[in-house]
Structure 1
């Protein structure tokens, strides 16, 4: 049997390119964050970036990265366990722990590897892992590794603490890890963190909140745990630097003994090169800026609320949410890909999402602090001018 036969049989990408609807791997000429970007030589409105606080091009963040390269070079050239650990890493970990209210933190090379490394290291034979059914792929894959080590993995209904409680009650004796996104990156909705905390405390389960899309935006920059009023009651917080912290990498926050255990047992930590000096310094500078702006409401939230209302008024099938993420649903793949292409041709970049079969298709829109009113009005004008081409008939406004 030829292992690579499946690769030669994969034709979807070529077929989609042939009809001019392929939506992935756009090559931007310049920064890909912020409110506007250059694509194919033309300036377009970026409605897909996760740079929620618009810090990826800030002078402070860029300067910190440049200074780190000048002092430390471009790479740590090894794993942190052996020769790739810098004072930059430890200083950032200390400030993360202080800002989010945990005893300690541990940096990984990506946010994906953070969840992969934490879940797979903590759960094994005899343990249970409960995932929100729409949890991020990194949590799912971490659970799969835990399952390979003997853990039992279960799913609970999306944002449903009652279903979680029912499942925990069915097997009360096993040690249990419950994992959820804080803000679900495709749906834009928030996890009911306070209710999940109460359920986990009732059943002695350990809660992990991946707040990749909530940190920097909610709870004075501290994310959905702070906003829910349960600071100090969520044992494990994971996050990425690739959203509001305008860099690369990720981190887990927990009590000091848990972090010490992960430092010596998490394979993605031990067997990967440490985060680069530039990425580490950039994330630290962004964290300082988020802390400085802690009392100010992120402009991204107001921008998203305004754009959501405008698209709904135009007749688009907009998913309601309270985050910067705005999913716009379409009935099938063709209509969604066609909408993506038309919007791009008229100067608006969105993210095309191809979810599992049976769950619909959508354009994922996201707002940042860089989306000033004039920029939003221009984008809304494009949606308005194209709505007869973009909207399915059953959603057309009168």
Structure 2
């Protein structure tokens, strides 16, 4: 009989990265120093990979709210929401979120990943699910848990999505699944195009707003508000681990849909509920999001400085104006070398390798927050220029790039 654990080996790619000394994952943060900086391997470095866009994770008001809830309610709830794990605090957050987002009801769960998994009961055997090819892994897992027939459309390709809707079984329920702000590229979904198609074909729209709620729109309600199309979104998921500076997630929509998920979504039914401290911190963050729009303005202004600076260096930066910026490299080993040299320069960014991106499309993902100063962005740009000049063969560079190979 063979050993069931014989498959438990590192992928060859990971072994190669270890051997080359450029393995970019599971890097421990020793201390958060504030002001957009952290301690890594005994060095003070600039954090350029965080999704804490509004810089709330270290905000004294969130810490105070979490500490108070910890003292009053303990470290955890020791049960699922459906049994003994529901707190009045959860219900307060649900009511506040529903009002904020303009939905009838909201269900709070323990992570953003889990919020997407709770969608699976909506994907029934008589439904067709039309999903953007760039959706997050958690949405892919929700699809696998469901029973709907899956059709993928090219990223933001409204012509192909329209064709899929036109040729779908008219007896089937149609659902469109996309992200508001895509987590890797930082670009936005074509919600106006989707809204036009749903008006024509009657499909339902499910929007993952993990990265955009709190950041985009006049009131911070995300991509839907940014496009003035909140009524076009039927169901919306979000996470508290980005703009809310905490942990947890939620799914929002019509009351009968949320009530159905409360009793049908196994990912929520059989998971312990969100701890009190995280819930209280998310509530405090929501209040700040509603009352301090200057945080959004600050990070978007900083993002524009970063994007303009990278474009001036010769990088082909996709449009969008959001704080998440991909630097296309291509080769996985070269990308990890780029990341390691950035860290040597005092910059901690993110590496995105397959399957998070297509084969041959490895990239460095850089993001800025409301805590970053102009001087820190300039420091980041100088580091990128220095590393790119040394590596000299970076994919995605346009001919004006300093030190690069034309067309590389």
Q: TM-score range by the shorter chain?
A: over 0.9
Question: 3-state SS of the aligned residue for 1:316?
Answer: coil
Conserved 8 A contact 2:54-2:295: no
Once residues 12 and 34 of structure 2 are traced to their aligned partners in structure 1, the CA distance between those partners, rounded to angstroms, is 31
Summarize the Cα distance change of 1:393–1:301 in structure 2 as closer, same or farther, 3 Å threshold: closer
Once residues 89 and 155 of structure 1 are traced to their aligned partners in structure 2, the CA distance between those partners, rounded to angstroms, is 35
| Aligned 1:186-225 pairs, distance under 5 A | 186-219=184-217, 220-225=219-224
Which residue number corresponds to residue 129 of structure 2?
129
2:153 equivalent to 1:156: yes
Which residue number corresponds to residue 304 of structure 2?
305
Summarize the Cα distance change of 1:343–1:104 in structure 2 as closer, same or farther, 3 Å threshold: same
**How much has 1:31 moved relative to structure 2?**
3.0
Which whole-Å deviations, capped at 9, do the CAs of 1:331-384 have from their partners, x for residues lacking one? Answer: 311221111000101100110010344351100001110111111122222223
Once residues 210 and 34 of structure 2 are traced to their aligned partners in structure 1, the CA distance between those partners, rounded to angstroms, is 16
| Aligned 1:1-398 pairs, distance under 5 A | 1-8=2-9, 10-31=11-32, 35-118=36-119, 120-147=120-147, 151-171=148-168, 172-219=170-217, 220-294=219-293, 297-356=296-355, 357-392=358-393, 395=397, 396-397=401-402
**How much has 1:288 moved relative to structure 2?**
0.6
Question: 3-state SS of the aligned residue for 2:293?
Answer: coil
Conserved 8 A contact 2:236-2:251: yes
Conserved 8 A contact 2:388-2:394: no
Question: 3-state SS of the aligned residue for 1:4?
Answer: helix
**How much has 1:195 moved relative to structure 2?**
1.6
Conserved 8 A contact 1:48-1:364: yes
Question: 3-state SS of the aligned residue for 1:232?
Answer: helix
Summarize the Cα distance change of 1:34–1:255 in structure 2 as closer, same or farther, 3 Å threshold: farther
Once residues 12 and 358 of structure 1 are traced to their aligned partners in structure 2, the CA distance between those partners, rounded to angstroms, is 12
Structure 2: 5+ residue stretches without partners? 404-408
Conserved 8 A contact 2:17-2:336: no
Once residues 9 and 291 of structure 1 are traced to their aligned partners in structure 2, the CA distance between those partners, rounded to angstroms, is 45
Once residues 52 and 261 of structure 1 are traced to their aligned partners in structure 2, the CA distance between those partners, rounded to angstroms, is 32
Conserved 8 A contact 1:316-1:328: yes
Once residues 239 and 373 of structure 2 are traced to their aligned partners in structure 1, the CA distance between those partners, rounded to angstroms, is 25
RMSD: 1.7
Summarize the Cα distance change of 1:393–1:94 in structure 2 as closer, same or farther, 3 Å threshold: closer
**How much has 1:14 moved relative to structure 2?**
3.3
Once residues 233 and 393 of structure 1 are traced to their aligned partners in structure 2, the CA distance between those partners, rounded to angstroms, is 40
Question: 3-state SS of the aligned residue for 1:386?
Answer: helix
Which whole-Å deviations, capped at 9, do the CAs of 1:30-88 have from their partners, x for residues lacking one? Answer: 23986111111111011100000000000110100000000000001000100000000
Once residues 56 and 346 of structure 2 are traced to their aligned partners in structure 1, the CA distance between those partners, rounded to angstroms, is 23
Conserved 8 A contact 2:295-2:370: no
Which whole-Å deviations, capped at 9, do the CAs of 1:12-31 have from their partners, x for residues lacking one? Answer: 33332221110000100123
**How much has 1:299 moved relative to structure 2?**
1.4
**How much has 1:2 moved relative to structure 2?**
3.4
After alignment, is 236-245 or 29-38 more displaced?
Answer: 29-38
Summarize the Cα distance change of 1:348–1:83 in structure 2 as closer, same or farther, 3 Å threshold: same
After alignment, is 248-257 or 156-165 more displaced?
Answer: 156-165
Conserved 8 A contact 2:180-2:209: yes
Count how many residue pairs are aligned between Structure 1 and Structure 2: 394
Question: 3-state SS of the aligned residue for 2:4?
Answer: coil
